[in-house]
Structure 1
Amino acid sequence: MTDVNDTDAANTDAELARHAAKMAKKKAARDRMMSGKEGEKGLIIVHTGAGKGKSSSGFGMILRCIAHEMPCAVVQFIKGAWDTGERRMIEGHFPHLCQFHAMGEGFTWETQDKARDIAAARKGWEKAKDLIRNPDIRFVLLDEINIALRYDYLDIDEVLAFLRDEKPPLTHVCLTGRNAKDALIEAADLVTEMTLIKHPFRSGIKGQPGVEF
């Protein structure tokens, strides 16, 4: 008579063996795929969509650069004098690795001055170009530039031409903000769309430190 415990052990052993074989097969396929990927390239990265996380993800990559001691920079096209956690941390602890330039003057509905918004966007773009041209800076985050592009405060063709013709080959540039232009999405190497499912703002909860800023 077969002991129930022996049967259970045999089933467990068989299941573990199947899992190990499955994982070995997956690893072999992954190794084959990775064996053909040797090159490096400075990427054009776009974070867009109505959901939260576009800037947060961009700053996550900035932190990775800092951890690798890779010189990097941030240009903010909307947030100006805002006291944000990321700005405090970078300016207070890592100014030798990351330049931080808050060039915006607030959302367009706050300034209510189109000419002023355009001037601020142009100023931010000129700073961004200087930073991107510097081959010592390996990663540049253009935070909320997609908003300036959406309202045509910056010319999309000019931005794309610059990224194509003047960006150093190994420099990464990340452009965040909802409603990214189709031409930018087409030109980018990596595009992520954040999808809004739920947000506490719709329930009357304001933005909170550590979550929103």
Structure 2
Amino acid sequence: MAPDHDLAEETDDKTSDSLDARHAAKMAKKKAARDRIMAEKSGEKGLIIVHTGAGKGKSSSAFGMIVRCVAHGFPCAVVQFIKGAWDTGERRLLTGHFGELCQFHAMGEGFTWETQDRARDIAAAKAGWEKAKELISDAHLRMVVLDEINIALRYDYLDINEVVEFLRESKPPLTHVVLTGRNAKQELIDLADLVTEMTLVKHPFRSGIKAQPGVEF
């Protein structure tokens, strides 16, 4: 019986070697194709990036990019249009440890159902937009995040045409601008270079779990 056992092991080894060889050849072809694609990508530009959708992660992703900028030593800035009254972890981190690289402007006064004052909400949104224009116009800044601006645009606290025109005509060529919030307007999506829609599959809030530090803020 031993020879048959040895033969089975030898066959298994050859099969494994064949699978490894095919995998290596497949990955080599994939790498060559990828290298050709990457060789054609040589341009740089300041991107307009939109994070929207009902799912969680829009602001979190934007702040992840801000952290990358900080890690590279790039000056950057954040304008918060809604969550200004919140004591968020990202705000603590950036203002407490990286204030020399990242400006943080909390211009909002809470969600619209908290203020219950349309005129006040509009005034706060317009003040935030004025600060945003000032920051975006500063070519020294590599990235500017406009957190939850899509909510202000959704409720027409800001003029979408004005925002789109400013981004198209006045944004410095190498400045990245990230705009977050649900229900991004089509005009903004059409203008953007990169649009990601976060899809809601499951959320603990629907099961009675409140917003928790480190996860939501």
> Fold match, TM over 0.5?
yes
**2:43 paired with 1:52:** no
| Aligned with residue 98 of structure 2, among 88, 94, 98 | 94
Q: CA deviation at 1:81?
A: 2.3
- CA distance in structure 2 between the partners assigned to 1:79 and 1:54 by the alignment: 13
**2:128 paired with 1:124:** yes
CA distances 1:29-51 after superposition (whole Å, capped 9, x unpaired): 10111111100000000000000
- Name the residue aligned to 2:173: 169
- CA distance in structure 2 between the partners assigned to 1:82 and 1:176 by the alignment: 17
| Aligned with residue 115 of structure 2, among 100, 111, 123 | 111
CA distances 1:135-191 after superposition (whole Å, capped 9, x unpaired): 100100000000000001000000000001110000000000000001100110000
**2:184 paired with 1:180:** yes
- CA distance in structure 2 between the partners assigned to 1:132 and 1:184 by the alignment: 16
Unaligned runs of 5+ in 1: none
CA distances 1:101-152 after superposition (whole Å, capped 9, x unpaired): 0000000001010000000000000000000000100100000000000001
- CA distance in structure 2 between the partners assigned to 1:203 and 1:31 by the alignment: 46
- CA distance in structure 1 between the partners assigned to 2:57 and 2:86 by the alignment: 18
CA distances 1:17-74 after superposition (whole Å, capped 9, x unpaired): 0000000000011011111110000000000000000000000000000000000000
Q: CA deviation at 1:209?
A: 0.5
Q: CA deviation at 1:80?
A: 1.4
Letter in 2 for 1:60: G
CA RMSD of superposed structures (Å) = 0.7
**2:196 paired with 1:196:** no
Of all paired residues, the percent bearing the same amino acid is 77
Mapping 1:1-20, distance limit 5 Å: 3-20=7-24
Q: CA deviation at 1:203?
A: 0.6
> Structure 1 length as normaliser, TM-score?
0.99
> Structure 2 length as normaliser, TM-score?
0.97
Structure 1 segments (4+ residues) deviating >4 Å: none
- CA distance in structure 1 between the partners assigned to 2:112 and 2:93 by the alignment: 27
- CA distance in structure 2 between the partners assigned to 1:153 and 1:40 by the alignment: 33
